[in-house]
Amino acid sequence: MTEKIVPDTSIIIDGKLSDLIETGEVDAEIIIPEFVVDELENQANRGQETGYKGFEEIKKIRELCEEKGLELNFTGRRPTEEEINLANNGRIDALIRDVAEEKSATLYTGDIVQARVADAKGIKHRLFEKERVTEFSLEEYFDEKTMSVHLKQGAVPKAKRGLPGQFRLEEIRDEPLSKEDIEKIISETIEKAEISDEGLIEMQKEGATVLQIGRYRIAMTRPPFSEAAEITAVRPVAKVSLDDYEMSEKLLTRLRTEAEGILVAGAPGHGKSTFAQALAEYYEENNQVVKTMEKPRDLDVGPDITQYSALEDSMENTGDFLLLARPDYTIFDEVRKTSDFEVFSDMRMAGVGMIGIVHASEAVDAVQRLIGRVELGMIPQVCDTVIHIRDAEISKVYKLQLKVKVPEGMTEEDLARPVIQIQNFETEEAEYEIYTYGEETVVVPTSGETEESGAERLARKQLEHQLRQYVDNPEIEFISDDHIKLFVDEDDISHIIGKGGENIDRIEEELGIDITVEPRGEITKQSVDYSIEERGKSVVIEIGAEYAGKEVDVQRNGEFLFAATVGKKGEVSLTKESDLADQVLNAHARGQLQVKS
3-class secondary structure, 44: helix
Reported in sequence order, the residue ranges of 153-269 that DSSP labels E, i.e. its strands, are 158-161, 168-171, 199-205, 208-213, 216-221, 230-234, 261-266
Residue 166, Cβ neighbours under 10 Å: how many?
Answer: 11
The pLDDT tens digits along the chain (597 residues) read: 578 999 998 888 888 889 899 888 888 899 999 888 888 888 777 767 778 888 889 999 999 999 988 999 998 877 766 666 655 556 788 888 988 898 999 999 988 888 899 899 999 999 987 665 556 788 888 888 888 899 999 999 999 887 665 678 889 888 999 988 888 888 788 878 877 777 777 777 778 888 888 888 899 998 888 899 999 998 876 678 888 888 899 999 999 999 999 999 998 878 898 899 999 999 999 999 999 998 877 788 888 999 998 888 899 999 999 999 889 999 999 899 999 999 999 999 999 999 999 998 889 999 999 988 888 889 999 999 999 998 888 999 999 999 988 887 676 666 788 999 999 999 999 999 998 877 778 888 886 444 555 556 666 666 776 777 777 777 777 776 677 778 887 777 777 777 767 788 888 777 777 788 877 765 557 788 888 888 888 888 898 888 887 878 888 887 777 777 788 888 888 888 887 888 888 888 888 888 887
User: Are 319 and 395 within 8 A, CB to CB?
Assistant: no
Which one, of 461, 414, 412, lies nearest residue 433 by Cα? 461
Q: Name the fold adopted by 242-445.
A: Rossmann fold (3.40.50)
Q: Measure Cα distances from 551 to 25, 203, 525, 529 in Å.
A: 87, 59, 11, 14
Residues whose CB falls within 8 Å of the CB of residue 141, separated by 6 or more in sequence, listed in order: 149, 151, 157, 159, 172, 233
Give the pairing of strands 306-308 and 4-7: unpaired
**Residue 244 gets which letter from DSSP?**
G
Which one, of 555, 495, 492, lies nearest residue 520 by Cα? 492
User: Are 145 and 163 within 8 A, CB to CB?
Assistant: yes
Alpha-carbon gap, residue 432 to 443, rounded angstroms: 7
User: Are 310 and 205 within 8 A, CB to CB?
Assistant: no
User: Are 359 and 337 within 8 A, CB to CB?
Assistant: no
Q: What is the pLDDT of residues 215-262, one digit of tens each?
A: 888 999 988 888 999 999 988 766 788 888 888 999 999 999 999 999
* Rounded to 5°, angle at Cα 549 from 546 and 552: 85
Alpha-carbon gap, residue 98 to 88, rounded angstroms: 17
User: Are 596 and 553 within 8 A, CB to CB?
Assistant: yes
378-384 contact pairs (CB < 8 A, 24+): 378/345, 378/349, 379/420, 379/434, 380/420, 381/261, 381/348, 381/349, 382/261, 382/344, 382/345, 382/348, 382/349, 382/354, 383/261, 383/262, 383/263, 383/348, 383/356, 384/258, 384/259, 384/260, 384/261, 384/262
Report the phi/psi class of residue 507: left, alpha or beta, with left for phi > 0 and alpha for psi in -120 to 50: alpha
Q: What is the pLDDT of residues 545-575, one digit of tens each?
A: 888 878 788 888 877 777 777 888 888 888 8
Backbone angles phi, psi at 339, to 5 degrees: -65, -35
Q: Measure Cα distances from 452 to 260, 409, 456, 476, 478 in Å.
A: 36, 8, 6, 12, 9
* Ranges of CATH 3.40.50.300 domains, the chain: 242-445
Q: What is the pLDDT of residue 449?
A: 45
Count helices and strands in the chain by DSSP H and E runs: 18, 32
Q: Measure Cα distances from 193 to 86, 237, 392, 569 in Å.
A: 25, 21, 30, 77
Alpha-carbon gap, residue 580 to 593, rounded angstroms: 12
The CATH-assigned architecture of domain 137-234 is 2-Layer Sandwich (3.30)
Strand partners, 106: 5
* Ranges of CATH 3.30.450 domains, the chain: 137-234
Alpha-carbon gap, residue 97 to 108, rounded angstroms: 10
Q: Measure Cα distances from 168 to 216, 237, 263, 531 in Å.
A: 19, 14, 27, 63
3-class secondary structure, 396: strand
Q: What is the pLDDT of residue 450?
A: 46
The yes or no reply on domain 4-127 and CATH 3.40.50.1010 is yes
Alpha-carbon gap, residue 135 to 189, rounded angstroms: 9
Rounded to the nearest 10 degrees, the angle between the axes of helix 490-497 and helix 502-511 is 80
3-class secondary structure, 488: strand
3-class secondary structure, 525: coil
Cis peptide before 380 (omega within 30 of 0): no
Strand partners, 535: 538
User: Are 357 and 332 within 8 A, CB to CB?
Assistant: yes
Q: What is the chain's length?
A: 597
Which one, of 487, 483, 459, lies nearest residue 473 by Cα? 487
Looking at residue 539, its amino acid is V
Alpha-carbon gap, residue 133 to 190, rounded angstroms: 10
Residue 64, Cβ neighbours under 10 Å: how many?
Answer: 19
* Ranges of CATH 3.40.50.1010 domains, the chain: 4-127
Residues whose CB falls within 8 Å of the CB of residue 63, separated by 6 or more in sequence, listed in order: none
Residue 408, Cβ neighbours under 10 Å: how many?
Answer: 19
